[in-house]
Structure 1
Amino acid sequence: MSVIPAVIPARGGSKGVPRKNLRPLGGKPLIAWTIEQVLATDGLHPYVSTEDDEIADVATRFGASVIRRPPDLATDTSASEPVIEHAIDVITGGTGRPDNVMFLQATSPVRLPGTLQRAVAEFTATGVDSMVGVVPAEIFLWQRDPQVQALYPFQARPRRQDMTPEQLRYRETGSLYLTRTEIYQHEHNRLGGRIGLFVMDTSEGMDIDTHDDFERAEYLFRNSSPTG
């Protein structure tokens, strides 16, 4: 099996939590957790895409290859897809492309041991074109506008243990995407073609975007071993 590049975008100019990719969490920089999870997985290699010298140094120290991101792909409004496409071009030297690419966000540091290996195996076994990491989601949702309305049949409220597969819902975590590179080439999107859901443990649904998120993550890492 050829090695799948696992691209980890890490911009230096994050606004919600300044320098969050380097902020210590559980005794190491936030980004280090994702790098180490990739290195612990057969058939993957970590690439950190960044415009920031300090992030590049930390990424190298923890075992990742660094892709220097051009400034126009490192703005507050930069989308992720062009960053992944740039990384693919750099990795291949502009000639050819890997069959698949994994996109991981450093702001989702909780991935249990074996999760990435299981994702690769499931992607291969199912033959999907793209796969998105999800966690089970709350189904008892309401909307307020334009009028109050339940988004589930409250007259016959189902018990969780009695729910059929058709009643279950899942939330996209942003933690993990695995995609055939031709999808990026033709659709310029991380998802396309036949899409598969990769169901992760609820604990893996963490996304650090605010100071409150970081405080919750610090509490979790102090009081448990969320990555094994």
Structure 2
Amino acid sequence: MTTVTALLPMKAHSERVPGKNTRVIVGRPLFHWVLSALLASPHISRVVINTDSEPIAQDAAGISEHVHIHVRPAELCGDDVSMNRIIAHDVALLGEGHYLQAHATSPLLTPETISRAVAQYFAALSGHDSLFGVTRLQTRLYSAGGSPMNHDPATLLRTQDLEPVFEENSSLYLFSAEGFRRANDNRIGTSAAMFEVGRIEAVDIDDEADWILAETLLEMRRRGDIA
């Protein structure tokens, strides 16, 4: 079985949801959910956490011997630093190989989905240099100027009959060190494959409304109401 290194970057500060990475949700700090899913996937050989937070580093390092900490250098700290710069720093330290980057803000992602994504990534390498998670949308979309983007208002198709479009949902990204460099240090390469993630697992916490939704779904999963 081919395995990959998971990258799980986290910073202490959060603008819209203060302290969200360590804030407790359904009995656990937020980042524990996706970290546990990564560690539970047999396709993940290790998880590297790049962070500027000593509490996160100490907590995460004590969870498993397969968790490794990269202390974030000062020049990569701050809210305006591109994630691709963080990845470039980690890849430079770790060397050649294949990587999966995830976010702590995706607490509903499961080990099974992670494993499926890794398997699809390797199966598609002959034609694609990377893979990223997407959410299928079949709804009527408009531009900021009010123009229809994916439908004709004069022909009122049912939404289930519309041509689907896909939203990058930030759940996961797969790439190689070589492909990352070839794409000018970009986690999405020049011939990326899309990997569809179900809407429940794709929930990403950006604000308090997202937090409430994720918390509700985690509670439902704990009760066995959803998978």
Q: Percent identity at matched positions?
A: 28
Shift of 1:113: 4.2
Find the counterpart in structure 2 of residue 215 from structure 1: 212
Task: Report the residue type matching 2:92 in the other structure.
Answer: D
- Gap runs ≥5 in structure 1: none
Shift of 1:159: 2.6
Q: Does 1:197 align with 2:200?
A: no
Identify which range, 214-223 or 40-49, moves more after superposition.
214-223
Shift of 1:215: 2.1
Find the counterpart in structure 1 of residue 158 from structure 2: 159
Find the counterpart in structure 2 of residue 101 from structure 1: 99
Residues 36 and 62, structure 1, Cα contact 8 Å, conserved in 2: no
Q: Does 1:175 align with 2:177?
A: no
Task: Report the residue type matching 1:177 in the other structure.
Answer: Y
Q: What is the alpha-carbon distance in structure 2 between the residues aligned to residue 157 and residue 149 of structure 1?
A: 15
Task: Report the residue type matching 2:78 in the other structure.
Answer: T
TM-score, with length taken from structure 2: 0.88
Q: What is the alpha-carbon distance in structure 1 between the residues aligned to residue 221 and residue 2 of structure 2?
A: 35
Task: Report the residue type matching 1:155 in the other structure.
Answer: A
Give the direction of change, closer, same or farther, for the CA distance of 1:47–1:71 in structure 2 (3 Å limit).
Answer: same
Find the counterpart in structure 2 of residue 91 from structure 1: 94
> Which residue of the other structure, out of 71, 74, 77, is the alignment partner of 1:74?
77
Task: Report the residue type matching 1:208 in the other structure.
Answer: I
TM-score, with length taken from structure 1: 0.88
Residues 134 and 197, structure 2, Cα contact 8 Å, conserved in 1: yes
Residues 138 and 159, structure 2, Cα contact 8 Å, conserved in 1: no
Find the counterpart in structure 1 of residue 13 from structure 2: 13
Task: Report the residue type matching 2:79 in the other structure.
Answer: D
The ranges of structure 1 where at least 4 consecutive aligned residues each deviate by more than 6 angstroms after the TM superposition are none
Q: Per-residue displacement from partner, 1:176-202 (whole Å, max 9, x unpaired)?
A: 000121122231101112110000111
May I ask how many residue pairs the two structures share in their alignment? Answer: 218
Residues 135 and 204, structure 1, Cα contact 8 Å, conserved in 2: no
Q: What is the alpha-carbon distance in structure 2 between the residues aligned to residue 224 and residue 61 of structure 1?
A: 26
Residue correspondence of structure 1 range 26-175 to structure 2 within 5 A: 26-44=26-44, 45-63=46-64, 64-92=67-95, 97-98=96-97, 100-127=98-125, 128-145=128-145, 148-151=146-149, 152-163=151-162, 167-175=163-171
Q: Per-residue displacement from partner, 1:92-128 (whole Å, max 9, x unpaired)?
A: 4xxxx11x11110111111134100000110111112
Specify the SS of the correspondent of 1:134. strand
Residues 67 and 90, structure 1, Cα contact 8 Å, conserved in 2: no
Residues 143 and 150, structure 1, Cα contact 8 Å, conserved in 2: yes
Q: What is the alpha-carbon distance in structure 1 between the residues aligned to residue 122 and residue 87 of structure 2?
A: 21
Larger proportion of helix: 1
Q: What is the alpha-carbon distance in structure 2 between the residues aligned to residue 7 and residue 28 of structure 1?
A: 20
